[in-house]
Structure 1
Amino acid sequence: MKILIIEDEARIAKRLARMTKAYFEQQLTLNVCDTLAKGLTYIEQSPIDILLLDLNLNGENGFEIMEAMVAKPFHTIIVSAYTDKAITAFAYGVLDFVPKPFDESRLFQAFGRLNNQSNLPDNPLKYLAVKKGGIIKMIEAIKVNYIKGAGIYSELHLQNGTQELHDKSLDALELLLPATDFIRIHRSYIVHLQQAEKLLIEAGGRYSVQLRNGEQLPVGRSRYKEIRNKMI
C-alpha cells in the first residue's frame, strides 16, 4: 500500500502518519508533502494507492489536486475542517471525508471502506473523470449505461453510444459508485440499474441482462439472485 499525506500542519501530518502506520502496520510506503506543489510533483512521479488530503494548504485550495489528478487510479480521503465542502468532494469521487478534529477510530473507518462498499457515505458520486489529450473531462454518472473492465482500466459505455477509458479499475469504481444506482453483474461488468430492462435465462443455465438499447451483457451465476431482486 502506497500512501501520500498532503497536510501543511506538521502536528496533524504526524498524527495522520502515526495512525496510518498503526492501521496498515508494516504493509505500506508512506510519504508526506506540506505544499500543493510538492504534492502534485510527487503524484506525477510516483504511483500511489491512497491520498490523504487537506483542503486548505497554506491558503491554497486542495481541490486543485482533485481537479488535476481526478482521473488518476488512486483513492482520495479528504481530512479537513471544511465540512461544507463534503458534498462537492463526494461528487468528484473521494472515498471518504474525515472532518477535523478526528480520532483514530474515524480514520480507521475511512480506511475500512476500501474493502467494504456497504459502509460508503450516502453522498452519491455524480461524475466520472477521464483524461483525454491532457484534458480532464467530467462525465455524469447517470449518463453511463454500463462499465466494462479492461485490465487496470475501465471502459465507460455511455448512453449516447460513445465510449471513454477511465484510469480506475472496475474494482475501484465499484467502491465509489452508489449501490442504489449501479450493480456488479459479472467480474467484467457493472450496469446502471436504470438501463437494465430484462434479466434473461439462456440455454445451459446462463444468464444475461438486456439493456434498454438492446445490448445484452453476461451475468455471473453467483450474482443472479441479487440482480433479480434489485430488478423486481
Structure 2
Amino acid sequence: MLVLNAIIVDDEEFARSSLYFLLQENCENIQISGIAKSVTEARKLLAENKIDLIFLDIAMPGENGFELIPAAVQNNAHVVFTTAYDQYALKAIKANALDYLLKPIDIDELKETVIKATKYIGQNKLSAQQMNSQLTQLAENLADRSEIRKLNLPNGQGGYTLVNFNQIIHVEADSNYSVFHLSGMEKITVAKVLKEYEEILPENKFVRVHKSSIINLDYLKEYNSKNGLEVVLKSGVKIAVSRRRASEFAEKVKTYTNFRSDE
C-alpha cells in the first residue's frame, strides 16, 4: 500500500493528539511527518518536507486554515479539512468536492477519507491544476458568503467538472448515485447520495419534490394533478411530486414566484 506523508494542523492540543492516535491505530499507510498548531508552523513543515496529505483545521486564531491553501497548492499536497462548526464553510467545501471530516472525528469516516486520498494521490488523478481550481473556487465562495454559485462534480475520469447552479435542470437519485441533468451539457453521474446535494443547492431555487428528485425552479414549466401531482420542466421531462412533499413544494413555488416578480 502507498505510504503517505501527512501533517496535522490544529490549534487545539486535544484535537491534534486524538487525530494522531486515530491515524496511528487505524491508517497504517499514513506516516505523520509533523504536527503544527498554526498556519505559520504548517508552512515551515511544508517547506522542509515532501508532504502528500494535510489534515487541516479551519477555525484557528491568527490565520485560519484557508490561508494555508496557497502553500498546499504549491506543494501539491492533498487537503482534508477538519471542522466542528461554520456551516457556510462546510457547505462551500462540499460544493467544491473537497474532503472534510467533522469533529469529533468518526473512525470509519477517517478510514474512508484516507482510502480515497490514497487512491487519488497514488493514481495522480488530482493534478495540481485541478486542486488549484477547486481551492480557488472555494476561496471565492468563502469571500462572498452570500450564496454559493458553483459546484465541482467528479466526472468519473479522474477529474472534476465545474458547473454553475443555473445549469442544473434537475437531479435524480439512482441508488447511491446522483445523476445531474444539465442545460447544454451531457448528464453527469456522481457517486454520492441525493441528500448530500440537497444540503448544498440553494433553497430558494432548488426543491426536492420526491425522494428521488430535486428540481431547479428556473426550469419549471407547469405543475398539475391530472395523474397525481407532477411537474413538467421546460425540457419536457415530467417528474412526480410525492404527497408528503406537496405542501413544501407549493410553498417554495409561491415564494419563488413572488421573488421573481419583485426583481
Q: Please tell me whether residue 220 in structure 1 is matched to residue 224 in structure 2.
A: no
Partner Cα separation in structure 2 for residue 193 and residue 95 of structure 1? 29
**Which gives a bigger RCO, structure 1 or 2 (Cα 8 Å, sep 6+)?**
1
C-alpha spacing 1:172/1:17, structure 2 compared with 1 (3 Å): farther
1:60 aligned residue (69, 72, 78): 72
The amino acid across from 1:137 in the alignment is T
C-alpha spacing 1:7/1:185, structure 2 compared with 1 (3 Å): farther
Which digits, 9 at most, give the CA deviation of each residue in 1:60-106, with x for residues without a partner?
Answer: 2499636xxxxxxxxx7565xxxxx999757525699x9xxxxxxxx
The amino acid across from 2:192 in the alignment is K
TM-score with structure 2 setting the length: 0.51
Which digits, 9 at most, give the CA deviation of each residue in 1:162-188, with x for residues without a partner?
Answer: 211112210111111121221111000
Which digits, 9 at most, give the CA deviation of each residue in 1:117-167, with x for residues without a partner?
Answer: xxxx85425113222322322222220100010111111001126211112
C-alpha spacing 1:52/1:188, structure 2 compared with 1 (3 Å): farther
C-alpha spacing 1:63/1:171, structure 2 compared with 1 (3 Å): farther
| 3-state SS in 2 of match to 1:202 | coil
* Structure 1 equivalent of residue 232 of structure 2: 210
C-alpha spacing 1:87/1:164, structure 2 compared with 1 (3 Å): closer
The alignment-based identity, stated in percent, is 16
Give 1 or 2: higher helix fraction: 2
Which digits, 9 at most, give the CA deviation of each residue in 1:167-214, with x for residues without a partner?
Answer: 2210111111121221111000011111112121123xx111111122
Partner Cα separation in structure 1 for residue 193 and residue 243 of structure 2? 22
* Structure 1 equivalent of residue 200 of structure 2: 176
Question: 1:52·1:78 contact (CA, 8 Å) conserved in 2?
Answer: yes
Q: How much has 1:16 moved relative to structure 2?
A: 5.9
Question: 2:219·2:234 contact (CA, 8 Å) conserved in 1?
Answer: yes
C-alpha spacing 1:7/1:195, structure 2 compared with 1 (3 Å): farther
The amino acid across from 2:246 in the alignment is Y
Q: How much has 1:18 moved relative to structure 2?
A: 5.3
2:158 aligned residue (134, 147, 157): 134
Q: How much has 1:224 moved relative to structure 2?
A: 0.7
C-alpha spacing 1:52/1:157, structure 2 compared with 1 (3 Å): farther
Question: 1:130·1:166 contact (CA, 8 Å) conserved in 2?
Answer: yes
Question: 1:208·1:218 contact (CA, 8 Å) conserved in 2?
Answer: yes
* Structure 2 equivalent of residue 45 of structure 1: none
Q: Which has the larger radius of gyration?
A: 2
Aligned residues: 175
Partner Cα separation in structure 2 for residue 58 and residue 128 of structure 1? 19
What are the equivalent positions in structure 2 for 1:81-160 lying under 5 Å apart?
A: 89=93, 92=96, 123-160=147-184
Partner Cα separation in structure 2 for residue 10 and residue 195 of structure 1? 44
| 3-state SS in 2 of match to 1:168 | coil
C-alpha spacing 1:132/1:142, structure 2 compared with 1 (3 Å): same
TM-score with structure 1 setting the length: 0.57
Question: Which 5+ residue runs of structure 1 have no aligned equivalent?
Answer: 1-5, 20-28, 41-50, 67-75, 80-84, 99-106, 112-120
Cα RMSD (Å) of the superposition?
4.4
The amino acid across from 1:92 in the alignment is N
